[in-house]
């Protein structure tokens, strides 16, 4: 059973969505919100699986709601904007409902987003990085949950097939991207490749040590990250 939250400042729009959701098997309406700040609080408290989110909201926009979240639900946007705005939303590969809409369009959007919510994550990451060359916050995964973390809290990342294991002080998360793609999102003055399989946040580096023929970077959480000989000269220059 998927838990659904409705966010819209128009009572008639919430009523329509309430009716549509009630007619869909496998969905449970757990709450409603009328403005942006209320939506953020409701998502934090109720932990819905799916949010129908209006774009224009009192307090803050639907886009700003996503940027303020620590965990990201699946999202279907709704809007009364014209075709130019719709093209902008489509560019982010996220579905939307253009008001007014009928049940058939509602079901189409529901199926599209629920079965391909990677687009929600792609848009949310763009919002987090808006106006900055590198992301101050990144979206990672903890089990089935998506979480938003400060990039500065990351100690290091380890290549894990097509993904990355990302380590914080006492926590391991997963990035659904390769280590090279993750590195492009992060500030290169702080994050350094020390091995083809490792990316390190140098603000947490404490000591460079050698054990036999191998070199390791020791971090402030006592993690030891392997440094390959090919990356060592560049790392030493950054640590000076």
- The predicted model gives 115-131 an average pLDDT of 71
Single out the residue of 100, 108, 176, 181 nearest to residue 139, CA to CA.
176
Residue 77: pLDDT band with limits 50, 70, 90: confident
What is the pLDDT, as a whole number, of residue 78? Answer: 84
Give strand ranges (E) for the chain.
Answer: 2-7, 27-33, 50-54, 74-79, 96-98, 137-142, 145-150, 156-160, 163-167, 172-175, 191-195, 198-201, 205-211, 214-219, 224-227
- The predicted model gives 5-20 an average pLDDT of 95
pLDDT higher than 60, residue 180: yes
What is the pLDDT, as a whole number, of residue 117? Answer: 67
What is the pLDDT, as a whole number, of residue 165? Answer: 97
d(CA 65, CA 110): 20
Q: Which residue has the tokens 């946007």?
A: 77
What is the pLDDT, as a whole number, of residue 89? Answer: 53
Q: How open is the CA angle 161-183-205, to the nearest 5 degrees?
A: 100
Distance from the Cα of residue 73 to its chain's centroid? 10
193 to 11, 14, 62, 212, 233: CA distances (angstroms): 52, 49, 36, 22, 12
Q: 141 — phi, psi (to 5°)?
A: -120, 135
Residue 93: pLDDT band with limits 50, 70, 90: very low
Residue 90: pLDDT band with limits 50, 70, 90: very low
Q: What percent of the chain has pLDDT over 90?
A: 57
Ordered structural domains, the chain, with CATH: 2-126 (3.40.50.2300), 132-239 (2.40.50.1020)
Q: 205 — phi, psi (to 5°)?
A: -75, 140
d(CA 212, CA 187): 32
pLDDT higher than 80, residue 86: no
Residue 96: pLDDT band with limits 50, 70, 90: confident
Q: How open is the CA angle 13-16-21, to the nearest 5 degrees?
A: 120
The pTM assigned to this predicted structure is: 0.70
What is the pLDDT, as a whole number, of residue 179? Answer: 95
d(CA 50, CA 61): 18
Q: pLDDT tens, 140-178?
A: 998 878 888 999 999 999 999 999 999 999 899 999 999
Single out the residue of 24, 21, 23 nearest to residue 32, CA to CA.
21
What is the pLDDT, as a whole number, of residue 91? Answer: 43
Q: Which residue has the tokens 């998360």?
A: 173
d(CA 22, CA 84): 32
């Amino acid at each position: 059973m998927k838990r659904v939250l409705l966010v819209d400042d128009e009572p008639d729009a919430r009523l329509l969505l309430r009716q549509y959701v009630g007619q869909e098997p496998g969905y449970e309406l757990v709450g409603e919100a009328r403005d942006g700040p209320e939506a953020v609080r409701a998502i934090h408290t109720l932990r819905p699986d799916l949010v129908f989110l209006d774009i224009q909201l009192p307090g803050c926009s639907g886009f700003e709601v996503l940027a303020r979240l620590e965990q990201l639900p699946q999202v279907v946007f709704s809007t009364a904007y014209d075709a130019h705005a719709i093209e902008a939303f489509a560019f982010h590969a996220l579905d939307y409902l253009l008001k007014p809409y009928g049940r058939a369009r509602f079901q189409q959007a529901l199926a599209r987003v629920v079965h391909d919510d990677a687009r929600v994550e792609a848009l949310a990451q763009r919002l987090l990085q808006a106006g900055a060359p590198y992301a101050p916050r990144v979206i990672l995964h903890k089990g089935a949950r998506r979480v938003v973390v400060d990039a500065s809290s990351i100690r290091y990342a380890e290549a894990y097939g097509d993904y990355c294991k990302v380590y914080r002080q006492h926590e391991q998360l997963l990035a659904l991207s390769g280590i090279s793609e993750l590195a492009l999102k992060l500030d290169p003055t702080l994050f350094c490749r020390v091995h083809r399989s490792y990316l390190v946040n140098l603000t947490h580096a404490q000591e460079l040590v050698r054990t036999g023929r191998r070199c390791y970077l020791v971090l402030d959480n006592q993690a030891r990250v392997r440094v390959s000989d090919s990356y060592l000269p560049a790392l030493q220059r950054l640590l000076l």
